[in-house]
Amino acid sequence: MTEVRRLAPPIQLKSRLAIRETANQTVVDGRETVQRILDGTDRRLLVVIGPCSIHEERSALEYAERLKRLSAEVADRLFVVMRVYFEKPRTTIGWKGLIYDPHLDGSDDVEVGLARAREIMLRINEMGLPAATEFLDPIVPQYLDDLVAWAAVGARTTESQTHRQMASGLSMPVGFKNSTDGSLQVALDAMLSARHPHSFLGIDSGGITSVVRTTGNPYGHLVLRGGKAGTNYDPASIAAAAEALKKAGLREGLMVDCSHANSAKVFARQEEVWNSVVEQRVGGNSALVAMMVESHLSEGNQSLTSDRSGLRYGVSITDACIGWETTERMLRSAAERMGIVVR
């Protein structure tokens, strides 16, 4: 180790960047709606959509404003939650997300990153647009949890006991992704674990190391993202996943991630996955309750280099995303088709 630097405790950041009633109502309503969708009492399709990662505020807020308007158009058929991801898991090395490197220069100014992340989430929720994120570091929820309507545990961390314990204490529904090899069992085990009470080490709102006790999270659910063996959004894979959930006594409603291995990491193929899943849902497959899409203002992605002045506005610096025109087409067409859903 070369340095240990103390951060401002969560209570201090939450006090400085306090949630107001409008944003709080967005979070509460968002969580309750997602729960009803998972319970099957709200028949709309949950859509978690947005940039692979947030790397600067202006494009994130422009995207949120556009998505808020579009979500209002399709609200009778789709419930839209924006992806607002600030942490990126890495197989080896690379930019780890806005929380860890907000200046995009390797300076690792985490205190600024946490504040900037909270500011962005506050602004988005104040628009009336609920937010979703992936929690990678188990300390981060103490700083941001009151602003999140839906959370993910990723393919690389679903097997982690630390993340299962964390999920058991989160106040929002949590999606667990299947493992990178495509296996469902790790996610099923995670769902079983997270719905039970746990006691584990963490920090309190004052930043003091504490024993955290949880009641368990009843709203864990499966996210199919494909794997090394191939895709898992086809009807046979969906049926197999639903049967596995039923056998394990778990919630049968599931989400399909249109990106990652399901699109072979080719961003344009997300629309193919989307159309297939919508067709299955319209055909009466009630197990399909949610979808995830990586989308930004402009399609594709770009490399993060030392010359940050050359970065193109509204283009991902992590995974490639579909652009806004495709986003509009996909959501509008799904809402139109969902009008003839077999109930």
Per residue in 13-44, pLDDT tens?
A: 999 999 999 999 999 999 999 999 999 999 99
Residue 202 has pLDDT above 80, yes or no: yes
Mean pLDDT of 105-122: 97
Do 287 and 256 meet the contact criterion of CB atoms below 8 Å apart?
no
- Tally of CA atoms within 13 A in the half-sphere of 95 that contains its CB: 24
Give pLDDT, residue 343. Answer: 38
C-alpha 247, offset from chain centre: 26
Segment 186-192 mean pLDDT: 98
pLDDT the model gives residue 340: 55
Q: Whole-model pTM?
A: 0.96
Q: Which residue's structure tokens are 């003839």?
A: 340
Quick one: pLDDT at residue 90? Answer: 80
pLDDT tens, residue by residue, 245-289: 999 999 989 999 999 999 999 999 999 999 999 999 999 999 999
In terms of CATH architecture, what is 45-338? Alpha-Beta Barrel (3.20)
Q: Please report the pLDDT score of residue 342 as a whole number.
A: 42
Query: How large a percentage of the chain has pLDDT more than 90?
Result: 93
pLDDT exceeds 90 at position 307: no
Read off the tokens for 106.
């390797």
Q: How far is CA 135 from CA 37, 128, 299, in A?
A: 22, 22, 25
Alpha helices (H) in the chain, listed in sequence order? 10-16, 21-39, 57-73, 110-126, 141-144, 161-169, 185-194, 235-247, 270-282, 324-338
- Gyration radius (Cα) of the chain, Å: 19
